[in-house]
Structure 1
Amino acid sequence: MTPLGTVAGVRDFVEANLDDVRATLDRHVERAMLELPSAGADYRDLWASIGDQYLGGKDLRPSLTLAAYAGLGGEDAEAAVPVAAAMEMLHTAMLIHDDLLDGDEVRRGRPNVAGTRRAALATSGLPPAQVESHVLSAALLGGDLALASSYDLISRAKLPAHHRIACLDLITRAIRTTIAGELLDMYGGMVAPEQADSLVVAELKTATYSCIVPLLAGAQLAGGDPTMVSHLEKLGASLGLSFQLVDDDLGVFGDPAVTGKSVLSDLRAGKRTELLRLGFQRADAAGRAVLEASVGDPRLDEDGAARVREVLIASGAREHALRTARQHGRLARRIASERIPAPLSGYLVDLIDSLADRLS
């Protein structure tokens, strides 16, 4: 592995230890499956479906933790890996609960926790209402187990007490902030689409736990000073917003075979994304009529979604939303290059550039 102190060294540290992050998560799930032998097969199956949930992800959150740690002078992988694993387990919890709120049963092209439970009950003979109750319960309890595991991974890590407490505090901050964002997102349906606080929702619901907290956790372990923490917080907020705006675009215009995500679910749910807020704000009367008839319709089909996409393009909403994503990406890049020391600065600039490629 390339010596630390260079961008290549940080990149090698991240890539080499992501396998250990995955192994740590696998061991955690395996241990949890066996710790209550009297709980039965359903408990073990729920843990197994949680383990399947984090397969195939981008590893953004553990990568940011490992990079911030190594890029600011940290060298002890044994200290950083459990914290990075906790960031991925936190992400898993958020995905499970977010899918529950959205009514989605597929994630990354595979059945999620709810979808796995529904498949297991396909031949059970239970009444439909009871099946639904089982499916919802599995998603709720699975997300709760993953949340508890994010704390457990840190509490068992070989860390000095002050680092452990600080990282646990960051997990708490991430959960509380995400819940605030979820509430705004859920209750956004009570206001006109063009009045939704979509960027605030994106920062609260995604940017904090996806970028800010993982970066701050790595910096904490490496002994980053308050000024560095402030810069990383601003960088993480802009990076997270850019990331979410692009994700929202892919949720309408992406290729499900590539993204593993439906291009109908956000439209059917009437999600108040910045893309749709701008669509309602900028569309002419005919275009707005299309949006009002289609967005939020749980029976929306591909033909209806195609008409919505035409309105989002013709009104300039899509281009404006992507322009905002680029602006936040550029701001994150500028902070990385001007305020963050080497070698972390170089790693983050390369990462931001690679994420920007999703816009092309």
Structure 2
Amino acid sequence: MLLREGRPTGLDHAVDALVDAALRRLVHRSGPRARPIAEAAARTAIGGKRFRPRLVLESYLAFGGERPPPDAVAAVAAGFELLHTAFVIHDDVIDRDVVRRGRPNVAGSFCERAASAGAGAAAATRFGEAAAILAGDILLYEATRVIAGARVPAATMDGLLDLLDQAVLTSAAGELADVEHATLPEAPSPDAVLAAARDKTAVYSFSAPLQAGALLAGGGEPALEPLAAAGESLGLAFQLVDDLIGAFGTVEQAGRAPGGDLREGRQTVLIALARRGDRWTDVAAALAAAGDGDRGLATVQDALAASGARAEVERLVDRTLAQAQERWSRHPLPEAVEAMLARLAHGIRGRMP
């Protein structure tokens, strides 16, 4: 299963091995002054689902690629995980998060380091955020270096680098739009929030890895369009489920304290839909008290459910997944590819809290 449930498979172990090898090389190449930041960057990748490199490998195999995949395929797959890790580190800075998966993230760990050396709170925070930005920059470069170093035909490499360019640019635009929605006084429309959610996640997490696997297997140009379109819908559905997890998920699902999105006042699709409804006054009052412990969180969760916004997002997930299937079904794709995409859609739906 592509979203890694249950006992690890041989492919899981292969993905872990190739990503770990890339991270070890990064740390090994760093000198003593750079090693702390390289190690902090590498630690961010520990414990992740790593489904982006798995998508590269699954797509490559579904398009008839050889088993086991050659080193070039492994390198490209690892590059997508390094790209994701870079985005995670930068995203934590933007959101001013200092904890990830229950432990200090890059910004948090360097903030603690500065504080223990006697820095004041503001200076320690600034140092931690600077370290995190630089760690993310290191991984962005490393992702590009790993992919560009894959031994593939020149035309294939051109296609891979185009995918990487598009993934970085689209994700940056989506992230900036997300910050804009949280910054400007005018509340964003549901459509605007949906567009930002799609841009932040869909291309680099779904469309690009799926297309990269097809390119590496010689799938050809006709396969790229349906994979891009289906990946866009799958990625949006994934982000919508993430929004539900951020509001209603357990600590195991969210990787942090439950209800983090509600406590932080994030402008998610869930909130945008609630604002449009006739129960917004009740939801807004509950959101104002969301930080008041477990009781405050339960109150806003109940208000969102009563407003119909939760159910509306769940229906939107189902419609978006159906749209993904319609998009990939328009084009003649190998049966194994359609089966892979169907498993992916099923896995996204199964994450619903």
TM-score (norm 1): 0.88
Name 2:54's counterpart in structure 1: 63
1:251·1:261 contact (CA, 8 Å) conserved in 2? no
Cα separation, 1, equivalents of 2:161 and 2:134: 21
Amino acid at match of 2:249: G
1:168 maps to which of 131, 151, 161: 161
Which residue does 1:322 correspond to in 2? Answer: 314
Instruction: State the alpha-carbon separation in 2 of the partners of residues 337 and 108 from structure 1.
Output: 37
Give, in whole Å, the separation in 2 of the partners of 1:250 and 1:179.
23
Q: Does 1:359 align with 2:352?
A: yes
Q: Letter of the aligned partner of 1:315 in structure 2?
A: S
User: Which amino acid is the alignment partner of residue 158 of structure 1?
Assistant: R
Query: Could you tell me how far 1:285 is from its partner in structure 2?
Result: 5.6
Residue 334 of structure 1 and its aligned partner are, at CA, apart by: 4.2
2:15 counterpart of 1:21: yes
Work out the CA distance in 2 between the residues paired with 1:31 and 1:226: 33
Check 1:136–1:17 CA distance in 2 against 1; reply closer, same or farther (3 A cut).
Answer: same
Residue 10 of structure 1: aligned partner: none
Return the alpha-carbon distance in structure 1 between the equivalents of residues 49 and 315 of structure 2: 23
Contact 1:18 1:62 in 2 (8 A): no
Q: Indicate if the aligned counterparts of 2:240 and 2:269 stay in contact, CA closer than 8 A.
A: yes
Aligned to 1:184: 177
Alignment partner, residue 295 of structure 2: 303
Query: How far did residue 292 of structure 1 move?
Result: 6.1
More divergent stretch after superposition (84-93 vs 127-136): 127-136
Equivalent pairs counted in the alignment come to 342
Q: RMSD of aligned C-alpha atoms? A: 2.3
| Aligned 1:237-276 pairs, distance under 5 A | 237-276=232-271
Task: String of CA shifts for 1:82-103, please: whole Å, max 9, x gaps.
Answer: 1111111111011111111001
Aligned match of 1:213: 208
Structure 1: stretches of 5+ with no match in the other structure? 1-6, 8-13
Seq. identity, %: 35
Q: Name the amino acid aligned to 2:340.
A: Y
SS of structure 2 residue aligned to 1:188: helix
> Contact 1:251/1:264 (CA < 8 Å) preserved in 2?
yes
- Bigger CA drift: 266-275 or 116-125? 116-125
- For 2:29, give the aligned amino acid: E
Shift in Å, 1:240: 0.5
Tell which deviates more after alignment, 149-158 or 247-256. Answer: 149-158
Alpha-carbon distance in 2 for matches of 1:355, 1:285: 28
State the shift of 1:61 in Å. 0.8
**What whole-Å deviation, never above 9, does each CA across 1:243-295 have from its counterpart, x for those lacking one?**
00000000010001343133343224322211010111114264144156357
**What does the per-residue CA deviation read over 1:207-248, in whole Å, with 9 as the maximum and x for residues that have no partner?**
111101111111111222333211111110111011000000
Distance 1:210 1:285, change over 3 A: closer
Q: CA deviation at 1:69?
A: 1.0
Counterpart residue number, 1:3? none
Quote the offset at 1:186 in angstroms: 0.7
- Distance, in Å, in 2 between the alignment partners of 1:342 and 1:77 is 23
Distance 1:194 1:162 in 2: 41
Shift in Å at residue 135 of structure 1? Answer: 0.6
Bigger Cα displacement from structure 2, 177-186 vs 337-346: 337-346
Q: C-alpha separation between the residues in 2 aligned to 1:268 and 1:285?
A: 17
CA contact (8 A) 1:22 1:85 kept: no
Deviations 1:94-132 (A, max 9, x none): 111111100112222332211222333442222222211
Contact persistence 1:336–1:349 (CA under 8 A): no
After superposition, the C-alpha distances for 1:54-86 in whole angstroms (9 at most, x for unaligned) are 122222211111111111121143221111111
Letter of the 2:294 counterpart: E
Conserved in 2, the CA contact under 8 Å of 1:114 and 1:138?
yes
Unaligned runs of 5+ in 2: 2-7
2: CA distance between counterparts of 1:194 and 1:29?
A: 39
- Contact kept, 8 Å, 2:115 with 2:121, in 1: the verdict is no
